[in-house]
Structure 1
Amino acid sequence: MRDLAREFAHQGHELTVLLPSYDTLNYWELEDRDGVRILRLSAPKTKDVGYVRRTIGEWLMPYWMARNLRKSPLAQSKWDGVIWYSPSIFHGPLVRRLKRESGCKSYLIIRDIFPEWALDLGLMRKGPAYHFFKVIARGQYDAADVIGVQSEGNLSYFEYWTRGAMGRQLEILQNWLSPPANAKCSLDISSTSLAGRKILVYAGNMGVAQGLDVIVALADRMRNRRDVGFLFVGRGSETARLEQMSRDLALDNILFQPEIDPDEIPSLYEQCAIGIVALDARHKSHNIPGKFLTYMQNGLPALAVVNAGNDLASLISKEGVGRACETRDLDQLECLCSDLIAEMNGDLAMRGRCKSLFLNRFSAEHAVRQITSALAT
């Protein structure tokens, strides 16, 4: 969202970002950054708390934000359009209020279809909690005039929504990134236990939705290849368990490191050979993760382990930018990984294909033009 906001400003739009913040000292705080006006509105805490408290906090969030917006210097502002991002699924009431007061259209950017993905992963059953979240999500969808999903495979889920009212527009809005700042990476792989190896890197959240056990198991399979190493950079609910799994297997070809500043990512990837994408096999929706974009942007081919039928697998195959495994079969995954390493050694154009794919499909410039065009029609 930072990249999108910067690009809106770069293209000459006057953008205001409304953010919930639990640690503001006042009802609101106003600042300007990178040509963007940012209004932080006091709201309940929703991070690093239990699920029940988080749910209550997110449900109250849009109402608190609307109340505190009325107390801010922007209380009487009129907007030409409202753009918001899901997750969270709870912004519907605030969006409806902004639309009503300004008489404008709204654009919803969908990146996770919740609670569907939680149901797929077995984190939730079709009980009261599921139906509660379903009602909230549908209320959010009904607040939108345009919905942008990130993959063709997700269009069918919203077909019912397009029939719900005249003028609704459903389209594919590819994920995006802006050119990164290239700060020197604080992690020097040449000074670690993986020095001298071809590095397969995973940088990002290590949670239930990623299903990273299979990558640790792959590292176990490839422990005798002294030319290959696996690097995990980031944090998440599964990090400690994955580290323990690595220790139990006595793996010396795998290294875990804490998250780094996003501006250090290009410098990190310069030290690596392949980027890892992992999605839990129980996913049924389609997802092109942001980390895949960062790999492409920096010329790293991808080794992807995804749910069967995921659009990402066909994209990787069609564009020749890596290998994708749609099962959890370790024999197949090990074979694909070895094939990719061998191909990289002989195909010097692969890194160029990765960068070209990013520039042609995943730029923030293209995303801003598509959103503004949809709001103007």
Structure 2
Amino acid sequence: MNVLFLTLAKINTLQERGIYHDLMQEFSDHQHDVYIVSPVERRENQKTTLKKEGNASFLNVKTLNIQKTNFIEKGVSTLTIEKLFLRAVKKHFSEVKFDLVIYSTPPITFTGVIKYIKKRDNAKAYLLLKDIFPQNAVDMKLMSDKSVLYKYFRKKEKELYNVSDKIGCMSEANVQFVLNHNSYVPKEKVEINANSIRLQSSKIHSDQEKTAVRMKYGIPTDKKVFIYGGNLGKPQGIDFLIETLKAKSEDDKVFFVVAGSGTEYDKIKDWFDIFKPKNALLLSAVPKADYDLLVQACDVGLIFLHKDFTIPNYPSRLLSYLEFRMPVLAATDPNTDIGTDIVKNGCGMSVYSGDLRAMIDAVDMLTNMDGIKFEEMRRNSLEFLKREFQVSRSYEKIIEL
């Protein structure tokens, strides 16, 4: 099969890891020809390029900045990316007849490209729904649900759902949200297709190797280390992360690592500069290979979501924590099911974002937990990953279309 994949994640090789890299590698390994269209953002100062790697082709299309930028530029980029992608596909893939087009949200503005490919090639269309927009922007008070902008994007969202032959959602709560808020979508069109990765046969790092990584970053070797890694933006509810760090700043049994970048990075950096916590470390974006080593050297993975979300987010960073056999502590809104899934599968704890007392208690429980119980949580993390988040399952669901 010829498979077209449209995404905002920059992909120019399948030699790297990530939920979309791994999915496309799975298609490639099953002898499908994959054609991946992704942006090269304005800040990178590069032109549109096309390159080939085995049976995978990578079309990196020059766009405005769309990730980790201000809301205005993100909005303009979201509006223009459809035409840029469509023009590039017509120019570079005019001779390719596609059997399947896969696309992920954000953005919701790929409808024109999808309609074109479906009409031209009679292809099937599969949506990987990773973001529910524009409702998430309303939740974050970035726009009003009465505004012209909201109505425009809501119309685009409906068009996207209608043009899709199947909608793969990250969790059961996401399935229910789509069906409850979009009565025109048939139930049989929507299914769970969770974030997924390929399991690696990497060895468990020894205590000596973990100690070496901790020493490299100045992380204590005798404390329970909690790490938050990933995007530092408004959706993550960074204020509650700061509240947590402040509340535990005098606890000499625990150490926090915050590693990431995003629109709220300066806010948390300012707090670190002023408060100078002795038991916390802030790192700007760390290369993927180094980040994986850093995560493995820590004890507990942290997930933060803004308390005001009505949409059920399901951050993919959970998979990194599970892969490295880490218990997870999630601070979430009441509408996502990621926290309940973590608790139900015995691999961590969950509190509501904003409930500082519950958060402190959860940190204390994980810090003081006896070794046998902690090791059981670690085993459960890997089993949860194997059971629910393997890319082979995602591939099989898509290929059934």
**Same fold flag (TM > 0.5):** yes
Task: Kindly provide the CA deviation profile for residues 14-38 of structure 1, in whole angstroms up to 9, marking residues without a partner as x.
Answer: 2111224456876x53212364221
Structure 1 counterpart of 2:82, one-letter code: P
Larger deviation: 290-299 or 10-19? 10-19
Q: Which residue of 2 aligns with 1:103?
A: 122
Question: 1:274-289 alignment to 2 at 5 Å?
Answer: 274-289=300-315
CA contact (8 A) 1:42 1:68 kept: no
Q: Which residue of 1 aligns with 2:22?
A: 3
In the alignment of these two chains, the number of paired residues is: 371
Task: Tell me whether 1:64 sits opposite 2:84 in the alignment.
Answer: yes
Alpha carbons of 1:362 and 1:157: their partners in 2 closer, same or farther (altered >3 Å)? same
CA contact (8 A) 1:6 1:34 kept: no
Q: Which residue of 1 aligns with 2:254?
A: 228
Question: 1:7-26 alignment to 2 at 5 Å?
Answer: 7-21=26-40
Partner of 2:231, secondary structure, is coil
Q: Which residue of 2 aligns with 1:32?
A: 52
Structure 1 counterpart of 2:284, one-letter code: P
Q: Which residue of 1 aligns with 2:213?
A: 188
- Alpha-carbon separation, structure 2, partners of 1:212 and 1:160: 29
Structure 1 counterpart of 2:125, one-letter code: S
Partner of 1:93, secondary structure, is helix
Shift of 1:344: 5.4
Task: Kindly provide the CA deviation profile for residues 92-142 of structure 1, in whole angstroms up to 9, marking residues without a partner as x.
Answer: 100110111111210001011011111112222121221122122222222
- Alpha-carbon separation, structure 2, partners of 1:306 and 1:166: 29
Q: Which residue of 2 aligns with 1:255?
A: 281
TM-score, normalising length: structure 2: 0.85
Task: Tell me whether 1:272 sits opposite 2:298 in the alignment.
Answer: yes
- Alpha-carbon separation, structure 2, partners of 1:77 and 1:287: 35
Q: Which residue of 1 aligns with 2:229?
A: 203
Task: Kindly provide the CA deviation profile for residues 58-81 of structure 1, in whole angstroms up to 9, marking residues without a partner as x.
Answer: 323222322233322x20211111
Task: Tell me whether 1:159 sits opposite 2:185 in the alignment.
Answer: no
Partner of 2:320, secondary structure, is helix
Task: Tell me whether 1:173 sits opposite 2:199 in the alignment.
Answer: no
CA contact (8 A) 2:68 2:263 kept: no
TM-score, normalising length: structure 1: 0.90
Alpha carbons of 1:333 and 1:166: their partners in 2 closer, same or farther (altered >3 Å)? closer
Task: Tell me whether 1:146 sits opposite 2:166 in the alignment.
Answer: yes
Structure 1 counterpart of 2:107, one-letter code: S
Q: Aligned match of 2:151 in 114, 120, 131?
A: 131
Shift of 1:162: 7.5
Q: Which residue of 2 aligns with 1:361?
A: 388
Shift of 1:90: 0.9
Q: Which residue of 2 aligns with 1:78?
A: 97
Alpha carbons of 1:351 and 1:113: their partners in 2 closer, same or farther (altered >3 Å)? same
CA contact (8 A) 2:136 2:311 kept: yes
CA contact (8 A) 1:309 1:326 kept: no
CA contact (8 A) 1:282 1:307 kept: yes
Task: Kindly provide the CA deviation profile for residues 326-345 of structure 1, in whole angstroms up to 9, marking residues without a partner as x.
Answer: 24221111111111222353
* Structure 1 portions without partners, runs of 5+: none
Task: Tell me whether 1:89 sits opposite 2:115 in the alignment.
Answer: no
Partner of 1:233, secondary structure, is strand
Structure 2 counterpart of 1:198, one-letter code: K
Larger deviation: 286-295 or 247-256? 247-256
- Alpha-carbon separation, structure 1, partners of 2:280 and 2:54: 38
Task: Kindly provide the CA deviation profile for residues 278-305 of structure 1, in whole angstroms up to 9, marking residues without a partner as x.
Answer: 0000011112211111101111110110
Larger deviation: 13-22 or 195-204? 13-22
- Alpha-carbon separation, structure 2, partners of 1:323 and 1:167: 32
Question: 1:299-318 alignment to 2 at 5 Å?
Answer: 299-318=325-344
Q: Which residue of 2 aligns with 1:352?
A: 379
- Alpha-carbon separation, structure 2, partners of 1:208 and 1:161: 24
- Alpha-carbon separation, structure 2, partners of 1:282 and 1:209: 9
CA contact (8 A) 1:233 1:260 kept: yes
CA contact (8 A) 2:66 2:77 kept: yes
Q: Which residue of 2 aligns with 1:120?
A: 139
- Alpha-carbon separation, structure 1, partners of 2:67 and 2:185: 35
Q: Which residue of 2 aligns with 1:243?
A: 269
Percentage identity across paired residues of the two chains: 21
Structure 1 counterpart of 2:52, one-letter code: D
Q: Which residue of 1 aligns with 2:9?
A: none
Structure 1 counterpart of 2:391, one-letter code: A
Task: Kindly provide the CA deviation profile for residues 220-276 of structure 1, in whole angstroms up to 9, marking residues without a partner as x.
Answer: 222232121000111111112112223433411111012122233331122100000
Partner of 1:15, secondary structure, is strand
Partner of 1:251, secondary structure, is coil
Shift of 1:166: 7.2
